[in-house]
Structure 1
Amino acid sequence: MANGKRSTTLGTDPISKLLVRQAVPASIGILVMSLNMIVDTIFVGRWIGPLAISAITVVIPITFFIGAIGLAFGIGGSSVLSRALGSGNDSKALQVFGNQVTLTFLVSGLLAILGLVFQNYLIEFFGADDSFKDLALTYYRIVMYGIVMLSMCMMGNNVIRAEGKPKFAMYAMMLPAIGNIFMDYILINVFDFGMEGAAWATFISYAICFAFVLWFFIVKSELRLTLTNFKLQPKIVGEIASLSSVTLARQGTVSVLTILLNNVLIVQGDALDVATYGIISRMLMFALFPVIGVNQGFLPIAGYNYGANQFQRVRESINTSIKYSGALALFIFAIIMIFPAEIVSIFISNSKTLSAETMAHNSEILSRTPSALRWVFAATPVIAIQLIGASYFQAIGKAMPALLLSLTKQGFFLIPLVIILPQFFGVWGVWISFPIADVLSTILTGYFLNKEVVKMVQ
Structure 2
Amino acid sequence: TSMAGRQFDNSTVTTVRGIKGMDVLSQHFTKSKLLKYTLPTMAMMLVSSAYGIIDGLFVSNLVGKDALASMTIVLPFIVIVSALGIMMGSGGSAVVGQLLGAGDRKGANRAFSLIAWATFVTGVVCSVLGMAFMDEAVVLLGASAEMAPMAATYGKIVFLCLPMFMITYVFEMFCSVAGKPGFGFLSSLTAGVVNIGLDAVLMGVFGMGIEGAATATCIAEYSSAMLMVVLFARGKVGVLKLVRPRWVQGVLPRSIANGVSEMVGCAAMSVVATAYNLQLMTLFGPDGVAAYAVIEYASMLIGAAFGGLTEGMAPLMSYQHGAGNNHEKRSLFGNGATLTAAMGIGAFLVAQLLAQPLAFAFTGYDGALMALTIHAFRMYSIAFLLMGVTYFGSVMFTAVENGKISALISFVHTFVFELGSIILLPVFFGADSIWWSIIVAEVAASILTIGLVARHAKGYGWR
* 2:457 match: secondary structure: helix
Q: Residue by residue, what CA displacement relative to the aligned partner does 1:121-166 show, whole Å, maximum 9, x if unpaired?
A: 1011112111311211221121111111111101111112111110
Offset of residue 46 of structure 1: 0.6
Runs of 5+ unmatched residues, structure 2: 1-15
Q: Which amino acid aligns with 2:401?
A: G
Gap change, CA 1:323 and 1:226, over 3 Å in 2: closer
- Structure 1 counterpart of 2:218: 203
Runs of 5+ unmatched residues, structure 1: 351-361
Find out whether 1:242 has 2:263 as its counterpart.
no
- Structure 1 counterpart of 2:227: 212
Q: Which amino acid aligns with 1:148?
A: P
- Structure 1 counterpart of 2:241: 224
Offset of residue 116 of structure 1: 1.0
Q: Residue by residue, what CA displacement relative to the aligned partner does 1:48-78 show, whole Å, maximum 9, x if unpaired?
A: 1111111111121122222222121011011
Q: Distance in 1 between matches of 2:253 and 2:305?
A: 32
Offset of residue 17 of structure 1: 5.1
Offset of residue 426 of structure 1: 4.0
Q: Which amino acid aligns with 1:193?
A: M
Q: Which moved more, 1:168-177 or 1:97-106?
A: 97-106
Q: Distance in 1 between matches of 2:362 and 2:356?
A: 11
- Structure 2 counterpart of 1:113: 128
Find out whether 1:336 has 2:351 as its counterpart.
yes
Q: Distance in 1 between matches of 2:394 and 2:260?
A: 13
Contact 1:7 1:162 in 2 (8 A): no
- Structure 2 counterpart of 1:132: 147
Q: Distance in 1 between matches of 2:32 and 2:233?
A: 29
**Out of 443, 446, 453, which is 1:449 matched to?**
453
**Out of 428, 434, 438, which is 1:430 matched to?**
434
* 1:247 match: secondary structure: helix
Q: How many residue pairs are counted as aligned between the two chains?
A: 445
Q: Which amino acid aligns with 1:442?
A: S
Q: Residue by residue, what CA displacement relative to the aligned partner does 1:386-408 show, whole Å, maximum 9, x if unpaired?
A: 22111110001111111111223
Gap change, CA 1:97 and 1:455, over 3 Å in 2: closer
Q: Distance in 2 between matches of 1:249 and 1:126?
A: 19
* 2:362 match: secondary structure: coil
Offset of residue 274 of structure 1: 1.0
- Structure 2 counterpart of 1:161: 176
- Structure 2 counterpart of 1:308: 323
Gap change, CA 1:298 and 1:53, over 3 Å in 2: same
Gap change, CA 1:149 and 1:392, over 3 Å in 2: same
Q: Equivalences for 1:270-349 in 2 at 5 Å? A: 270-349=285-364
Gap change, CA 1:103 and 1:176, over 3 Å in 2: same
Q: Distance in 2 between matches of 1:258 and 1:187?
A: 28
How well do the aligned residues superpose, as a CA RMSD in angstroms? 2.0
- Structure 2 counterpart of 1:354: none
**Out of 114, 118, 124, which is 1:99 matched to?**
114
Find out whether 1:57 has 2:72 as its counterpart.
yes
Q: Distance in 1 between matches of 2:323 and 2:191?
A: 35
Offset of residue 231 of structure 1: 3.6
Q: Equivalences for 1:143-162 in 2 at 5 Å? A: 143-162=158-177
- Structure 1 counterpart of 2:8: none
Find out whether 1:401 has 2:405 as its counterpart.
yes
Q: Residue by residue, what CA displacement relative to the aligned partner does 1:250-270 show, whole Å, maximum 9, x if unpaired?
A: 122122212222112112221
Q: Distance in 2 between matches of 1:427 and 1:108?
A: 39
Q: Which amino acid aligns with 2:226?
A: A
- Structure 1 counterpart of 2:104: 89
Moved over 6 A (4+): none
Offset of residue 5 of structure 1: 2.8
Q: Which amino acid aligns with 2:344?
A: A
Contact 1:153 1:209 in 2 (8 A): yes
Q: Which amino acid aligns with 2:217?
A: T
Find out whether 1:71 has 2:71 as its counterpart.
no
Q: Distance in 2 between matches of 1:190 and 1:252?
A: 35
- Structure 1 counterpart of 2:419: 415
- Structure 1 counterpart of 2:59: 44
Offset of residue 308 of structure 1: 0.8
Gap change, CA 1:113 and 1:289, over 3 Å in 2: closer
* 1:93 match: secondary structure: helix
**Out of 176, 187, 196, which is 1:181 matched to?**
196
TM-score (norm 2): 0.91
Q: Distance in 1 between matches of 2:171 and 2:350?
A: 33
**Out of 253, 257, 270, which is 2:268 matched to?**
253
Find out whether 1:368 has 2:366 as its counterpart.
no
Q: Distance in 2 between matches of 1:338 and 1:159?
A: 35
Q: Which moved more, 1:431-440 or 1:381-390?
A: 381-390
Q: Distance in 1 between matches of 2:301 and 2:241?
A: 35
- Structure 2 counterpart of 1:379: 383
Q: Distance in 2 between matches of 1:151 and 1:394?
A: 19
Offset of residue 436 of structure 1: 0.7
